[in-house]
Amino acid sequence: MTNCFDAVVVGGGLGGLAAAAALARAGRSVRLLERHVQPGGYATTFTRGPFEFEASLHELSGIGTPQAPGPLYRTLERLDVAKRLTFLPIPDLYRAVAPRYGLDMRLPASRQGATEALLDAFPHERAGITRVMDDLFAIERDVDRLSDGVDLSTPEVIARYPAFARAARSPLAALLYREVGDPLARLALGQMWSYFGLPPSRLSLLLFASGLTTYLSHGACTIKGKSQALSNALVAVIEDAGGVVTLGDGAREIACSSNRVSGVITDHGEQLQTETVVANANPLIVAFDLVGPDRFPAAFIRRISRCAPSISTVCVHLGLSNDRRALGLDDHEVFINGTVDLEQQYRDACQLEPSDSFLLTAYNVVDADFSPQGTCVVSLVAACDGRAWSKLDSAGYRALKRRYAEQLVARAAELYPGLEHHIDVEVISTPITNTRYTGNIAGAIYGFAPTPDENPAFRLPQRAPIDGLWFAGAWTQPGGGYQPSIESGVAAADAVLTSRS
């Protein structure tokens, strides 16, 4: 086999797979190195006993319908992936439950449905809710209209894209807390903060607007065959186009000479020659471990060092020996809230103890075949600060895992009585698990924390300050999550193709 490639892609998460697929389909010779034995990064599954568990995907954004395909569907079509997959729509974006505060409502996955549900539940907040929804969609319209290459610092941007300009440096709280006073209504609207990883006072308004309006415009769905089907389909596209995907071997070094990429040395010692590397491994590892910080401008090293990683997760995956209907599991995505104060939820998540606000996903609701007949799979997911977990010793780590499992299961059973008696298989993943399987610092699931300064427009660009080195994945523009990570990979490939032609 040749060891000379037009491009080497380091990492087979969604960003890396999408970049490799786009490059291979454009006729470039591509080698993708993935350190894990399975492709996908977070977009993978694992099997215990009779159950295949989903490692990450709850709700995929941007797919739309066959009549009105969404932006992610069109990207997957371009990559020749869409036709290989079956998407399963999720009718409600979420059910929000706060038992101690008497809140139990469902937010349909459409603008009209969601607005009506919010106004029905909070008629006294009609004016504020309407203004929030209008503003979120105005921001998204500006983002859509922003043409590539606009200098975001010019006064022209403020004049032509006022909603974007207002949102660019603002946190979600600047809109949500200004317009809506009732804490329950704030919760119902801002419930998805944990999908983005920061509370309203610190979360980029631009990111929240893009994320929520994409779900409300194009719906939410899962994938038949789980996220692994998506990752496997991307691998098939790369291989069909002549690319090579190597699993179980990573990049140990990205070699450079005179500020230019010259090759990659793999964990197994193979030397690959290339002038183009797309790094899906996170930029900190790339800079400090694979390339060496001295090769980068000091400003770049300062920039990536000062940004905090996003939140991480503790997941309690449950294989249950009962049909989901018998347990009353009728909703796919259920936010269970111990407090209605979103800022407190975040503070609780950052403590090294289980929070009583978390997410329950019942996968069999939209995919009856998700697990063997007569069984179902539920995941309980708590946001957490991954940095604190790495300081635990092994006894403390094991004990904390156990406390998470016991408390999240007990809380879930208050809403779904009997669930606790049907646990056949239980698997707990933590920030340490996330780092082990993806290399992400602090088990971060969305790259850098999405503050206003790290909003989609100001995030790390695909082009690195070393010739021939490009970034793809959650740490870079436009941000974390399935749709953004895939888009970042395609953007990296497009930049490579344009820069060489």
Ligand X SMILES: Cc1cc2nc3c(=O)[nH]c(=O)nc-3n(C[C@H](O)[C@H](O)[C@H](O)COP(=O)(O)OP(=O)(O)OC[C@H]3O[C@@H](n4cnc5c(N)ncnc54)[C@H](O)[C@@H]3O)c2cc1C
Between residue 166 and residue 195, which ones bind ligand X under the rule CB under 6 A?
none
Residue 160 vs residues 1, 137, 141, 174, 480: alpha-carbon distances, Å: 53, 16, 12, 21, 27
Measured in degrees and rounded to the nearest 5, phi and psi for residue 6 equal -65, -40
Give the one residue of 481, 490, 492, 493 binding ligand X; rule: CB under 6 A. Answer: 481
Beta carbon nearer to ligand X, 154 or 273: 273
> Judged by CB under 6 A, which stretch of 115-123, 240-248, 292-300, 481-489 contacts ligand X?
481-489
471 binds ligand X (CB under 6 A): no
Measured in degrees and rounded to the nearest 5, phi and psi for residue 487 equal -60, -35
**Token reading at 48:** 């215990």
> Judged by CB under 6 A, which stretch of 8-16, 65-73, 78-86, 299-307 contacts ligand X?
8-16
CA–CA separation, 187 and 170 (whole Å): 19
- Which residue in this structure is represented by tokens 């569907």? 73
358 binds ligand X (CB under 6 A): no
Between residue 370 and residue 389, which ones bind ligand X under the rule CB under 6 A?
381
320 binds ligand X (CB under 6 A): no
12 binds ligand X (CB under 6 A): yes
Beta carbon nearer to ligand X, 57 or 272: 57
3-state class (DSSP) for residue 471: strand
122 within 8 A of 184, measured Cβ to Cβ: yes
Beta carbon nearer to ligand X, 36 or 106: 36
Give the one residue of 73, 122, 335, 482 binding ligand X; rule: CB under 6 A. Answer: 482
Give the one residue of 21, 22, 24, 33 binding ligand X; rule: CB under 6 A. Answer: 33
3-state class (DSSP) for residue 288: helix
CB of 78 vs ligand X, minimal distance in Å = 17
Beta carbon nearer to ligand X, 8 or 129: 8
CB of 13 vs ligand X, minimal distance in Å = 2
> Judged by CB under 6 A, which stretch of 13-21, 150-158, 162-170, 339-347 contacts ligand X?
13-21
216 binds ligand X (CB under 6 A): no
CA–CA separation, 37 and 44 (whole Å): 11
Give the one residue of 28, 30, 53, 56 binding ligand X; rule: CB under 6 A. Answer: 56
For the four alpha carbons of 211, 199, 414 and 57, in that order, the dihedral sign comes to positive
CB of 40 vs ligand X, minimal distance in Å = 7
CA–CA separation, 437 and 440 (whole Å): 8
DSSP assignment string, 322-387? S-TGGGT---SEEEE-S-S-HHHHHHHHHSSS--S-EEEEEGGGT-TTSSSTT-EEEEEEEEE-HH
Give the one residue of 28, 36, 95, 186 binding ligand X; rule: CB under 6 A. Answer: 36
DSSP assignment string, 31-98? EEEESSSSSBTTS-EEEETTEEEESS-S-EES-B-SSSB-HHHHHHHHTT-GGG--EEEESEEEEEEE
473 binds ligand X (CB under 6 A): yes
CA 95 centroid distance within chain: 20
> Judged by CB under 6 A, which stretch of 28-36, 45-53, 104-112, 173-181 contacts ligand X?
28-36
Between residue 256 and residue 285, which ones bind ligand X under the rule CB under 6 A?
280-281, 285
CB of 493 vs ligand X, minimal distance in Å = 13
Give the one residue of 25, 28, 58, 401 binding ligand X; rule: CB under 6 A. Answer: 58
35 binds ligand X (CB under 6 A): yes
442 binds ligand X (CB under 6 A): no
CB atoms within 10 A of CB 493: 28
**Token reading at 429:** 């993943």
Q: Considering only CA atoms, which of 202, 204, 223, 208 is closest in space to residue 84?
A: 223
Q: Considering only CA atoms, which of 55, 58, 63, 61 is closest in space to residue 38?
A: 55
Give the one residue of 228, 440, 455, 477 binding ligand X; rule: CB under 6 A. Answer: 440
H/E stretch holding 405 reads: helix 394-415
Give the one residue of 7, 8, 14, 442 binding ligand X; rule: CB under 6 A. Answer: 14
Beta carbon nearer to ligand X, 129 or 362: 362
315 binds ligand X (CB under 6 A): yes
Q: Considering only CA atoms, which of 433, 472, 370 is closest in space to residue 54?
A: 370
Give the one residue of 439, 450, 452, 478 binding ligand X; rule: CB under 6 A. Answer: 439
Judged by the rule CB under 6 A, the positions of this chain that interact with ligand X are: 10-15, 33-36, 41-43, 56-59, 250-251, 280-281, 285, 313, 315, 381, 434, 438-440, 445-446, 473-474, 480-483, 485
